Amino acid sequence: MDDSKKRSSAMTEGVDKAPHRSLMKALGWTDREIHMPMIGIVNGANEIIPGHIHLNRIVDGVKAGVREAGGNPVAFPVIGVCDGIAMGHTGMKYSLASREIIADSIEIMATAHPFDALVFVPNCDKIVPGMLMAAARLNIPSIFVSGGPMLAGHVPGGSVNGMSLSTMFEAVGSQAAGTMSQEQLDVFEDNACPTCGSCSGMYTANSMNCLTEAIGMGLPGNGTVPAVYSARDRLAKEAGYMIMEILKKNLRPLDILTPKAFANALAVDMALGCSTNTMLHLPAIAHEAGVELDIFMANAISAKVPNLCHLAPAGPYHIEDLYQAGGVLAVMHELDKAGLLDGSLPTVSCKSIGELYKHATNYNTSVIRPITNPYSKTGGIAVLQGNLAPDGAVVKKSAVDEKMLVHKGPARVFESEEDVIKAIFASQIKSGDVVVIRYEGPKGGPGMREMLSPTSAIAGMGLDKDVALITDGRFSGATRGASIGHVSPEAAEGGPIAFVEEGDIISIDIPQGKLELLVDEKVLEQRRKGWKCKESPITTGYLARYAKQVTSASRGAIFKQ
């Protein structure tokens, strides 16, 4: 059967499909529903993620739109991890690893029950890229509508405004340093995360939802309409209507996810100052789409794309402010003024991306700087390279204090996140130090944990302008300061980070893209000869299998093929 025709008819048409239809009637479906286009709704709802607690509401909106447009909506669930709740313990080892299971489970569901089209309803960190990977892999008509961002928190009386999850992690460091009382910490705890939705800064979830819009897989507003706004419900219905149009036109994800579309996404990434985790997820999505995306492409695009936004943790603004300022399309409109985007590319709106952003307005030039007055002439992310990271390392340079862009200091070496946390709270980390956390990569962790707890503790103790952190693990999008992650090859693969010793001098030059260990090569060779890989802390279950299959962070931590 021609795959451009109704896929679900393969299990609904003909006498031999009577058993299939009988099972559908057991679901309560009528003959009319059975013969309608069957639209799968990939539902990320669960009751443990604040960004997903309300997704059934979004799914209900999608269903209403699909039904009104003549389709039969069928929802099915996927797993999800809340990175904030998983942070700082073994649970974080499972976060990145869950991305592959999400993609695989969607492939299973959509192939075993051949839906005609899919509406993806994600919101948080690994769920968005996992769903995008599945969409590219399956390549059937698809559209994304996220759950939307959380509103920022405010302390009663207005003494502290614009709070977010990163505020809480940094407050823990402040309390440990004696600059915040327990009573103040309690007030912060009660008010930092006031609504459902993905955490309110330009962290990984909102980065990926904004880039989903920029790359053409989400409708305008997908990345920025707040979760609690009625406009989010209207957007869900529009996605339901639009998937039926996409199905009629047979518009597929691989028609949209082209090399030029990824270049557009990287440009928007640089302008927004997105999470460093985009340097894991965009290559992984590109791989599924058959597109080669080398992480060093980010430097080439950053060299010509200015940073226009300083959203939390890089600055005082939040996603709700970006929404009020005009959203992702207003950012793209600014970039287009300098010819930095390809406006001809298709989108799930059934219009070109240029048609969508050409009428966008920048309503607040403090939130979205004009192209003529950027925060910096280069983008928000840098990929570093040198003898400490031959295959690359990633830093969110828009969140680095200017005095730390170039730094040289002694290495303080730790074998895990737990070890460094103890040292920070024991005041053993001093101004000028370069903290090295190793054996936290995709294989060595296993699972490549985020290091929000140590970076936030350092920031909360007032050391973020004086101390650098380097790891083969990764950092949360909520991290600020000279925090360099994704060091590749990782320690567990015998990368140079495995041979750093206490007191070695490390040189960081972010503007020049350099990360160097100032140790003679002959000395490093001697250290290599005596090296023995640290044993993995997990030897059974999914993570043990994950460690055997996963590739380097420089390749997006995809599985071996």
Structure confidence at residue 1 as a pLDDT band (50, 70, 90): very low
The β-bridge relationship of strands 161-163 and 72-77 is unpaired
Instruction: State both tokens at 467.
Output: 């101390």
pLDDT > 90? residue 282: yes
Does residue 518 register a pLDDT over 80? yes
Give tens-digit pLDDT for 468-491.
Answer: 999 999 988 778 889 999 999 999
Average pLDDT over all residues of the chain: 95
pLDDT value of residue 113: 95
Write b or e for each residue in 34-58: b if 16 or more Cβ atoms lie within 10 A of its Cβ, otherwise e. bbbbbbbbbbbbbeebbbbbbbeeb
- Average pLDDT value for residue range 224-234: 98
At residue 116, does pLDDT exceed 60?
A: yes
Nearest Cα to Cα of residue 146 among 80, 209, 59: 209
Token pair recorded at residue 101: 């299971």
- Locate tokens 């597109």: which residue? 291
pLDDT of residue 455: 87
For residues 323 and 294, is the Cβ–Cβ distance under 8 A? no
Say what the pLDDT of residue 337 is: 98
Of 546, 559, 532, nearest in space to 446 by CA: 546
Active site annotation includes 198? no
pLDDT recorded at residue 458:
87
Give CA–CA dist 278/298, Å, rounded.
10
pLDDT in tens, 191-208: 999 999 999 999 999 999
**Cβ pair 417, 445 in contact under 8 A:** no
For residue 118, pLDDT over 60 is answered with yes
The pLDDT of 300-317, averaged and rounded, is 95
**Average pLDDT estimate for 58-78:** 98
The band of 502, judged by pLDDT with boundaries at 50, 70 and 90, is very high
Tokens standing for residue 413:
């070496």
Rounded to whole angstroms, the maximal C-alpha distance in the chain is 77
Average pLDDT in the 17-24 region?
A: 95
CB atoms within 10 A of CB 540: 7
Task: Give me 535's structure tokens.
Answer: 């044993």
Residue 543 one-letter amino acid: L
For residue 3, pLDDT over 60 is answered with no
Helix (H) or strand (E) run with residue 471 in it: strand 468-471
Catalytic residue among 476, 483, 488, 554: 476
Helix segments in 69-198, DSSP class H? 83-86, 95-112, 127-138, 165-177, 182-191
- pLDDT tens-digit map of 124-148: 999 999 999 999 999 999 999 999 9
**Mean pLDDT across 324-337:** 98
Residue type, 398: S
359-383 pLDDT tens trace: 999 999 999 999 999 999 999 999 9
Share of the chain above pLDDT 70, in %: 99
The model carries a pTM of 0.96
The tokens describing 418, both together, are: 């737990």
- List Cα–Cα distances, 60 to 54, 117, 351, in angstroms: 10, 17, 25
pLDDT confidence of residue 4: 52
In this prediction, residue 2 carries a pLDDT of 44
Q: 357-395: string of b/e by CB count within 10 Å (b at 16+)?
A: beebebeeeebbbebeebbbebbbbbbbbbebbebbbbb
**What value does the mean pLDDT take over residues 266-278?**
97
Angle at 409 between CA 443 and CA 411, to 5 degrees: 35
Distance of alpha carbon 125 from alpha carbon 277, whole angstroms: 9
Would you state the structure tokens that stand for residue 52, as one six-digit string? 């997903």
